[in-house]
């Protein structure tokens, strides 16, 4: 008898399925919106350095490729991600651009990295989805060389990022299967909202010199991409394809209206309220 595919417990964490496929489809939009954040992750990396860099939760590899470009032929750059569709897309991109980046498809909290093998570990929004944060950051610390730097960008709270929940607040009631946001501190987009919680995780995982500072990034994408943004991203993007055509159209209409305060000169503009988290192994 054929296996019946099971629906994941929390669709917001379904990076191997609909979440990953949607991110691949939205890759250009996400790169355009968040591409400028990568500079803050590679700021300490000298051009042409010999560093070995790991990008955690690398997704479709935008940041990984930025690192590879910065390092040139002297360094090495590896992206790790649990999602098959996203790693496949990242590998294809690297090949297309002739970039010297390698990708591992694995769970970063359990992957058996060679010890002391990275000088810099970075992540753009890729470390908030682990089941066990201390296990994950302990595993990453073991993979880091002594004194290696950790540089992460993660979201602050949902309250400080009202843009991020606009669609579900306006149109979520139209979708009975909408996956609820996770518990505070549990895996999910806003898992790192609480500064003290993040500090505790890193300390318990053996990182030192921990610095967690707020950074506000101005982000924008063309208004013509708003419907695509609503359809593919966030909790709505996880279930919209299950709705009938009329419901889908209504969701887009209602959510688009709710985003109008963010529209200016044919662009959707918002502030990403984030933490820049740094530490040393």
Look at residues 163, 133, 115 and name the one whose alpha carbon lies nearest to residue 281: 115
130 is an interface residue for ligand SAM by CB under 6 A: yes
229 is an interface residue for ligand SAM by CB under 6 A: no
Q: Find the binder of ligand SAM among 33, 83, 205, 231 (CB under 6 A).
A: 83
Provide the minimum distance between the beta carbon of 133 and ligand SAM in the complex, in angstroms, as a whole number.
Answer: 10
Closest to ligand SAM by CB, 34 or 118:
34
Rounded Cα distance, 228 and 269, in Å: 15
Provide the minimum distance between the beta carbon of 111 and ligand SAM in the complex, in angstroms, as a whole number.
Answer: 8
192 is an interface residue for ligand SAM by CB under 6 A: no
Measure the CA angle with vertex 40, ends 38 and 44; round to 5°.
115
Q: How many CB atoms lie within 10 A of CB 249?
A: 12
Number of shown-chain residues binding ligand SAM (CB under 6 A): 22
**Under the phi-then-psi rule, with left for phi > 0, alpha for psi from -120 to 50, and beta for the rest, what region is 102?**
beta
Q: Find the binder of ligand SAM among 52, 70, 124, 228 (CB under 6 A).
A: 124
129 is an interface residue for ligand SAM by CB under 6 A: yes
109 is an interface residue for ligand SAM by CB under 6 A: yes
Look at residues 271, 135, 275, 272 and name the one whose alpha carbon lies nearest to residue 192: 275
Binding string, 24-53, against ligand SAM, x = CB under 6 A? ------x---x-------------------
Rounded Cα distance, 85 and 60, in Å: 8
Q: Find the binder of ligand SAM among 15, 103, 190, 259 (CB under 6 A).
A: 15
Q: 219 pairs with which residues across the strands?
A: 270
Closest to ligand SAM by CB, 8 or 162:
8
Q: How far is CA 239 from CA 125, 204, 226, 236, 247, in A?
A: 21, 36, 17, 6, 11
The interface region with ligand SAM, picked from 94-102, 124-132, 175-183, 235-243 by CB under 6 A, is 124-132
82 is an interface residue for ligand SAM by CB under 6 A: yes
125 is an interface residue for ligand SAM by CB under 6 A: yes
Provide the minimum distance between the beta carbon of 263 and ligand SAM in the complex, in angstroms, as a whole number.
Answer: 24
Look at residues 140, 142, 115 and name the one whose alpha carbon lies nearest to residue 126: 140
Q: Which two tokens stand for residue 27?
A: 């890759």
**Total residues found in the chain within this entry:** 281
Closest to ligand SAM by CB, 129 or 275:
129
Q: How many CB atoms lie within 10 A of CB 96?
A: 9
Q: Which two tokens stand for residue 41?
A: 């992750």
Binding site for ligand SAM (CB under 6 A): 15, 20, 30, 34, 57-59, 62-63, 80-83, 86, 107-109, 124-126, 129-130
């Amino acid at each position: 008898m054929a296996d019946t595919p099971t629906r994941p417990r929390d669709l917001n964490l379904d990076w191997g399925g609909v979440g990953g496929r949607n991110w691949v489809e939205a890759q250009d939009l996400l790169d355009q919106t968040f591409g400028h954040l990568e500079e803050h992750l590679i700021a300490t990396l000298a051009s042409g350095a010999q560093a070995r860099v790991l990008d955690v939760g690398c997704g479709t590899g935008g940041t990984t490729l930025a690192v590879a470009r910065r390092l040139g032929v002297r360094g090495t750059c590896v992206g790790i991600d649990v999602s098959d569709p996203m790693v496949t897309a990242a590998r294809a991109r690297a090949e297309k651009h002739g970039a010297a980046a390698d990708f591992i498809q694995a769970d970063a909290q359990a992957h058996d990295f060679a010890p002391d093998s990275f000088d810099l570990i970075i992540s753009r929004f890729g470390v908030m989805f682990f089941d066990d944060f201390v296990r994950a950051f302990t595993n990453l610390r073991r993979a880091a060389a002594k004194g290696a730097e950790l540089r992460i960008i993660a979201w602050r709270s949902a309250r400080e990022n009202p843009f991020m929940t606009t669609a579900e607040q306006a149109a979520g009631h139209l979708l009975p299967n909408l996956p609820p946001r996770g518990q505070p501190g549990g895996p999910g987009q806003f898992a790192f909202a609480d500064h003290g919680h993040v500090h505790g995780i890193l300390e318990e995982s053996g990182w030192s010199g921990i610095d967690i500072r707020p950074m506000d990034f101005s982000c924008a994408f063309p208004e013509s991409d708003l419907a695509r943004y609503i359809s593919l991203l966030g909790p709505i993007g996880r279930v919209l394809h299950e709705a009938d055509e009329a419901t889908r159209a209504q969701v887009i209409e209602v959510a688009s209206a709710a985003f109008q305060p963010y529209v200016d000169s044919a662009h959707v503009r918002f502030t990403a309220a984030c933490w820049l988290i740094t530490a040393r192994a």
